[in-house]
Amino acid sequence: MQIDSGFTFVLFGGTGDLSMRKILPALYEAHRAGMLSEHGKIVAVARHAADRDGYIEWVNSNVKTYVSKGGLDESVWQRFLERIAYVKLDLGKPEDFALLRDALDGHAGTRVFYLATGPSLFVPICRALASVGLNENARIVLEKPLGYDLRSSNAINDAVGEIFAEEQIYRIDHYLGKEPVQNLLALRFGNALFEPLWRREWVESIQITIAEELGVEARGDFYDNTGALRDMVQNHLLQLLSIVAMEPPHSMDSDSVRDEKLRVLRALKPIDTRDISKIAVRGQYHSGVIKGTSVPAYATEHGVKPQSATETFVALKVEIENWRWAGVPFFLRTGKRLAERVAEIVVNFRPVPHSALGAPALRPGANRLVIRLQPNESIRLYCLAKQPGEGMNLSSVHLDLAFDQFFKEGQMEAYQRLLLDVINGRLALFVRRDEQEAAWRWVEPILNEWAASNKPPKPYAAGTWGPAAASAMLAQHGTCWLEEEN
């Protein structure tokens, strides 16, 4: 769908890694697909390039490798570059923002300010924008992490909220823009087949995993002051949990969807600090081998303190205290330097109460739905079927919901969808302030307990699936992680 009105997309941190790998490639793909108004402009803001020519040279060198998996169309690329203007700006000098105001003068349509910077710059940038009158008829996009804890998150939200109204603020979580997450909503709320089963009577447990093969790379300084709980659980994993567990909204407008997600977050069973050791596992990777390559321990990574107690792995058992989900355990897991890069949601349905067909039908997980978010997006339904031949021997089979084969058009990348939603003014896939506060409030007891504890994170070898304690936690509930079954 093409955007009718013009827009100006202002990208702060225009030479940063996120801009090169995600934001500019997403805008290019939208341009290539004809989804951007021909009157739309992109204004990159940075201080590294001296002028527009220098910035375009930077973009040519750093962005091309991340666009168009099917091959780059050079003529389309050149027309995309024509959209880009550049403003050299020192973010530490509020007076420089007059240069940006002058550069935007005469640009019609909505203004989008994307803050692809560190969170410490969010408030100064917003205040500087307001000082030159650029907060009117504008939308502001805030990248994670938004704060270090509930207090710091509220401080940022309070300050930004003094300048921009809530409906102008887009707190981005790119997992909410992924195609399988959208299809999860379609499966649940568009089909009579799944929704009646989506409750405690039929669901035995749910797993949500975001695993990475990579370590901290060049982010050692940042990560060592953040950790996996803040970096992944408080936002990505709890957002996915709320999508999985939410009640049907009365419509798909932004507040209806976000109201239902908020109800889930507020229904999370509060953390009792006496139980943290039973429902939370934290780990830290040591040296190991991933795909034949030796990798170092976390504590020896650049920028990491040698005696660091920062967790690179978290596994949690979560419960939702409402009528739909009471008693159903949700297992969340994330980590770096794990055996595989994968993000998936696994819904394990209860086995049949009695089987005349033998033990496999009574096995936990005989019926399950696996929603794969990355690397290969897919949805797969597992069930039991009779093996060919004599006797009633059952075997697990699966039905693939192969959207890429059924729909001829390619899947839209998460950032592309979300950036188009910002420009179009659609808030449903962005995090509202009260959602964010509820998530921080729930994780804070764990953060505080770990900070006060003298116990180090449990070690695990790089290239494995994390500490054994994460498997033991599920074993106590008569289940296991999906890869352990295989």
What per-residue confidence (pLDDT) applies to 396? 80
Same domain, 389 and 441: yes
Q: How confident is the model at residue 403 (pLDDT cuts 50, 70, 90)?
A: low
Domain range for 243 is: 179-411+436-485
| pLDDT digits 0-9 by tens, 125-152 | 999 999 999 998 899 999 887 889 999 9
Give the domain CATH number at 243.
3.30.360.10
- Considering the chain, what percentage of its residues have pLDDT values greater than 70? 96
pLDDT (average), residues 22-51: 92
Residue 236 catalytic?
yes
Reduced to 3 states, what is the DSSP secondary structure of residue 337?
Answer: coil
Q: Single out the residue of 323, 321, 319, 341 nearest to residue 332, CA to CA.
A: 319
More confident of the two residues 466 and 92: 466
Give the domain CATH number at 50.
3.40.50.720
Q: Which two tokens stand for residue 283?
A: 């780990």
Maximum pairwise Cα distance, the chain? 82
| pLDDT digits 0-9 by tens, 383-401 | 888 788 777 777 788 888 7
| pLDDT digits 0-9 by tens, 201-221 | 999 999 999 999 999 988 889
Q: CA-CA distance, 15 to 9, in Å (whole number)?
A: 15
Count up the domains in the chain and report the number.
2
What per-residue confidence (pLDDT) applies to 3? 44
pTM of the model: 0.92
Find out whether 258 is annotated in a ligand binding site: no
Residues 240, 278 contacting (CB under 8 angstroms)? no
Same domain, 470 and 403: yes
Residues 188, 194 contacting (CB under 8 angstroms)? yes
As beta bridge partners, residue 368 has 348, 382
Number of other CB atoms surrounding residue 276 within 10 Å: 18
Same domain, 283 and 340: yes
Strands of 7-12's sheet in order across: 84-88, 41-46, 7-12, 110-115, 138-142, 169-171
Query: Does any domain span residue 1?
Result: no
What per-residue confidence (pLDDT) applies to 303? 93
Query: Does any domain span residue 211?
Result: yes
| pLDDT digits 0-9 by tens, 358-388 | 666 667 678 899 999 888 788 889 888 878 8
C-alpha distance from residue 111 to each of 9, 89, 104, 157, 479 (Å):
6, 18, 9, 20, 50
Residues 55, 46 contacting (CB under 8 angstroms)? yes
Same domain, 386 and 277: yes
Which H or E run contains 86? strand 84-88
What per-residue confidence (pLDDT) applies to 361? 62
pLDDT at 4 over 50: no
Query: Does any domain span residue 163?
Result: no
What per-residue confidence (pLDDT) applies to 67? 86
Same domain, 285 and 184: yes
Find out whether 151 is annotated in a ligand binding site: no
Find out whether 47 is annotated in a ligand binding site: yes
- The domain boundary, picked from 143, 159, 188, lies at 143
Secondary structure letter of residue 464 according to DSSP:
B
Give the pairing type, strands 293-295 and 203-211.
unpaired
Q: Is 201 exposed, middle or buried (0-12, 13-18, 19+ CB in 10 A)?
A: exposed
pLDDT (average), residues 245-254: 91
| pLDDT digits 0-9 by tens, 312-357 | 999 999 999 999 999 999 999 999 999 999 999 999 999 887 777 7
Q: CA-CA distance, 180 to 432, in Å (whole number)?
A: 21
Find out whether 231 is annotated in a ligand binding site: yes
| pLDDT digits 0-9 by tens, 417-462 | 999 999 999 999 999 999 999 999 999 999 999 999 889 999 999 9
pLDDT at 95 over 80: yes
pLDDT (average), residues 227-231: 95
Q: Single out the residue of 415, 384, 414, 389 nearest to residue 399, CA to CA.
A: 384
Q: Which two tokens stand for residue 481?
A: 């992680």
Q: CA-CA distance, 198 to 350, in Å (whole number)?
A: 11
Q: CA-CA distance, 311 to 35, in Å (whole number)?
A: 41
- The domain boundary, picked from 117, 143, 169, lies at 143
Same domain, 190 and 113: no
More confident of the two residues 402 and 413: 413
Same domain, 229 and 86: no
What per-residue confidence (pLDDT) applies to 408? 63
Same domain, 440 and 367: yes
Q: CA-CA distance, 257 to 429, in Å (whole number)?
A: 8
Same domain, 184 and 125: no
Residue type, 481: W
Query: Does any domain span residue 444?
Result: yes
Give me the chain's average pLDDT, please. 91
2-6, 62-66, 72-76, 235-239: which has the minimum mean pLDDT? 2-6
Same domain, 139 and 196: no
Catalytic residue among 31, 236, 286, 477: 236
As beta bridge partners, residue 461 has 286
What per-residue confidence (pLDDT) applies to 374? 86
- What is the DSSP code string of 157-203? HHHHHTTS-GGGEEE--GGGGSHHHHHHHHHHHH-TTTGGGSSTTTE
Same domain, 105 and 187: no
- What is the DSSP code string of 244-313? HHPPPPSSSSHHHHHHHHHHHHHHBPPPPGGGHHHHEEEEEEESEEETTEEE--GGGSTTS-TT----SE
What per-residue confidence (pLDDT) applies to 48? 83
Find out whether 93 is annotated in a ligand binding site: no
- Considering the chain, what percentage of its residues have pLDDT values greater than 90? 69
SS3 content of the chain, % helix, strand, coil (to 5): 40, 20, 40
Same domain, 99 and 53: yes
- The domain boundary, picked from 143, 164, 190, lies at 143
Find out whether 91 is annotated in a ligand binding site: yes
